[in-house]
């Protein structure tokens, strides 16, 4: 099976409310499921206590490490789900995404995202968790 992934905003739908595509469509021979990533370093220590942008950057660095370990890149991501703890961080999430994503997804192939504000993550310090599915 030839790998093919298309991420797009169909004319039938409104534009996304941010840097994501409404749809990804994938023909793949393998799927990669990554555990929800938090802002920890390799020793498991929390990175960026109280600093949302630092946490978000660490989370995507961890996702990058996960992808590279399977010979994938961010282009292989087919869907993400983003959980934030504070609605006050939504704007900062949007701003950090604008800074970060054009580098991670240089061809503009932003994956579909679902953004949810929840009560808490596994430890009180964590401000963001990202769940990722990729394909190849």
The site for its own copies (CB under 8 A) is made up of 1, 10-18, 20-36, 38, 40-44, 62, 65-66, 68-70, 78-79, 81, 83, 87, 90, 111-122, 124, 129, 131, 133, 135
C-beta closer to its own copies: residue 103 or 120 = 120
List 77's β-bridge partners, or say none: 134
CB environment 36-73: b (16+ within 10 A), e (fewer): bbbbbeeeeebbbeeebbebbbbbbbbbeebbeeeebe
> In this complex, which beta carbon is closest to its own copies, that of residue 107 or of residue 119?
119
Instruction: Evaluate the CA torsion angle 119, 88, 95, 109 in order and state its sign.
Output: positive
Compute the least distance from the CB of residue 92 to its own copies, in Å: 13
Residue 101 sits at φ, ψ, to 5 deg, of -70, -35
Closest approach of its own copies to the CB of residue 66, in Å: 6
Which CB sits closer to its own copies, 42 or 50? 42
State which residue, 61 or 100, has the beta carbon closest to its own copies.
61
């Amino acid at each position: 099976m030839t790998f093919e992934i298309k991420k797009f905003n169909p004319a039938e739908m409104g534009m996304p409310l941010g840097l994501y595509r409404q749809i990804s469509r994938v023909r793949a021979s393998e799927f990669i499921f990554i555990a929800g990533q938090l802002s920890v370093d390799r020793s498991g220590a929390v990175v960026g206590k109280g600093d949302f942008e630092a946490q978000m950057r660490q989370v995507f660095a961890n996702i990058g490490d996960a992808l590279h370990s399977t010979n994938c890149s961010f282009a292989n991501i087919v869907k993400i789900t983003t959980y934030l703890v504070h609605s006050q961080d939504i704007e900062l999430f949007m701003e950090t995404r604008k800074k970060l994503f054009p580098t991670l997804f240089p061809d503009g192939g932003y994956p579909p995202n679902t953004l949810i504000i929840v009560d808490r993550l596994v430890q009180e310090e964590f401000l963001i968790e990202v769940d990722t599915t990729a394909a190849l």
